Chain A
């Protein structure tokens, strides 16, 4: 399955778990590409054109409000897929999909994926499981956003992002972070200063370096452990 292997050697968990029969259905139509941070793959309301399987990096799924504000509802890395429900006939994306961390992905046209899924129970299960993972994340994120303090959410988000960033620095503007957390940019600035003051991170010129991971884990809300333990991230 050469086309589903990423050049870095890192592979998507869902694709890796497939057997030869499913790979044969998909591989003629799969291409692998690198996506830069900040690229918008689809807007809420768009028809789903491609299904994406990240091998590295991270894609963010954002709910978009009428006034233009957006908030992250789920993040997808090597463990998952974006747009997989297109395989079961869901044609319209309900979320904006943005590349949160530079990513290497395999992608397949939704129409091709749909045809392959129609011929494989395993691929149908993949669609359902992928959707269940996103729903589980969204449930936890909704509760977290409503109840937990910004500092704890900020730390939780950084840990999840760091887990996907590998050794790469986390390059994010405060405005981007504010959008992910659904808070004011000024609040993010204040929280980042506080967490930096405690020695957990070093934040400068849009680049975040984790200095003390254990401390960051103590400052994060339970949702980091919850989502990690369920292997949904």
Chain B
């Protein structure tokens, strides 16, 4: 099974050095969305207007397969 990496960027990178063996890209997408759901619950006020929260899924060649982005802003 191919290896996928799940990197989080929120006021700095948090690189996944371990990775996860998953069946295919579809499984990696499901994992990313489930992980994002858990992580977003954890934000709990720490995401500030003007900042972003990103989750990137890459393969072993560091190619970005998916990116989930939560943008926070305060319209003027």
Interface residues of A in 172-186 (CB under 8 A from B): 174, 183-186
A150 to chain B, nearest CB (A): 5
Chain B interface bracket (under 10, 10 to 19, 20 to 34, 35 or more): 10 to 19
Segment at the interface with B among A99-107, A115-123, A189-197: A189-197
Q: How many A-B residue pairs have CB under 8 A?
A: 37
A185: which B residues are within 8 A, CB to CB?
20
Contact check: which of A149, A174, A194, A197 meets B44 at CB < 8 Å?
Answer: A149
Segment at the interface with A among B31-39, B58-66, B67-75: B31-39
Contact check: which of B6, B8, B42 meets A150 at CB < 8 Å?
Answer: B42
Chain A interface bracket (under 10, 10 to 19, 20 to 34, 35 or more): 10 to 19
Interface residues of B in 1-42 (CB under 8 A from A): 6, 8, 14-16, 18, 20, 31, 34-35, 38-39, 41-42
Residue contact B20 to A149, C-beta cutoff 8 Å:
no
Residue contact B18 to A150, C-beta cutoff 8 Å:
no
Contacts A/B (CB < 8 Å), 20 sampled: A149-B42, A149-B44, A150-B39, A150-B41, A150-B42, A151-B42, A174-B18, A184-B31, A184-B35, A186-B16, A186-B20, A187-B38, A187-B39, A189-B6, A190-B6, A190-B16, A190-B39, A193-B14, A194-B14, A197-B14
